[in-house]
Amino acid sequence: MIRECEQSMQVRTVIIIEGLADLVMMMTKLAVGISTNSAAIIGDALHSLSDLCNNIIALIALRISEKPSDADHHYGHRKYEQLAVFTLAVLLAVVAVELIINAFSHYGQSVSHSNIGLVVMILTLVVNIGLTVWQHYWAKRLDSDLLNADAKHTLSDVLTTFAVIAGWQLAARGYALFDTIVALLVAAIIFYMAIKLFLRAIPILVDHSLYNPNDMQRVVLGVDKVKAVHQVRARTLREGGSADVVVCVDANLSTTQAHKVTEAIERALHEQFGLDDVVVHVEPY
């Protein structure tokens, strides 16, 4: 338990540091985008803003999801993390729509070049690359899915910023269309990330199951002294999964023997499917 608390604190520290970096980069990109009238750079700033929102939501979700079960949440608070992911996906989709509108409203407008702005954008690119490597290191060291997902998000920022710099430089040299094209490309990347987050959160929020009930039933029937299986149902969680099983055993079995059967079923389902939370109801055959 102490080790889990320490790990959670380390994950939280990494997220806070990255959030501060995202705040600085967002303000920097926004200043360069406004001064050069580049829709692509403004879009990249909005992208960094979405990263900052991601950090804030991750911190809130991490704190809530760590709470144990209580009178109002009998199964704990683990789904709050996925609810936060769903909220972030909605925010990303809104940012993408705003970016598309901004790109078309700036279409055909002249884009100016700035040596200082170029240096600043290259520096933000270097910082993003450093953040990506740093986050991957800590994600692997702490075995954190949250940090791993965040690191991939930061990697998308690296690719986006690189494309934005290229589009901005072409637009500043008279090819204004490229600024709009790159802005739309950034919007597409953000939409893609939003869809991936939706696909990650929605199945867990609606109790989608990745487990084949027929396969689970065969495993349960293979447990000694199980005569029949009346019900097998499971749901996918971020870590492991949960299942409810109703089985029939010989009516003459003692309570102790029936309990050993339930333990054997729990063990079998954990070994075969990785289910961590299994409830077994025993009925007489």
- Convert the pLDDT of each residue in 202-222 to its tens digit: 877 776 677 788 888 888 988
DSSP 8-state class, residue 225: T
pLDDT at 264 over 60: yes
pLDDT at 6 over 70: no
Question: What whole-number distance in Å separates Cα of residue 267 and Cα of residue 85?
Answer: 31
- Structure confidence by residue, pLDDT tens digits, 91-102: 778 877 877 877
pLDDT at 198 over 70: yes
Question: What whole-number distance in Å separates Cα of residue 263 and Cα of residue 271?
Answer: 12
End-to-end CA distance of the chain: 41
Q: Is 207 left (phi over 0), alpha (psi -120 to 50) or beta?
A: left
Residue 41 identity (one-letter amino acid) = I
Most confident by average pLDDT, 5-19, 58-72, 73-87: 5-19
How large is the average pLDDT for residues 85-114?
73
pLDDT at 4 over 80: no
The pTM for the full model equals: 0.64
Question: What whole-number distance in Å separates Cα of residue 15 and Cα of residue 135?
Answer: 9
Tokens linked to 164? 């934005």
Question: What whole-number distance in Å separates Cα of residue 201 and Cα of residue 108?
Answer: 39
**Beta-sheet strand order (sheet of 241-249):** 226-236, 241-249, 277-284
Fold of domain 213-284: Alpha-Beta Plaits (3.30.70)
Fold of domain 2-205: Alpha-lytic protease prodomain-like (1.20.1510)
Quick check: 174 and 200 in contact, CB under 8 A? no
- The dihedral formed by the CA atoms of 56, 59, 60 and 63, expressed in degrees to the nearest 10: -170
How large is the average pLDDT for residues 1-12?
63
Sequence ranges of the domains in the chain = 2-205, 213-284
pLDDT at 14 over 80: yes
Residue 46 pLDDT level (bands cut at 50, 70, 90): confident
Model pLDDT, residue 246:
92
Average pLDDT, the chain: 78
CA nearest neighbour of 38 among 171, 190, 191: 171
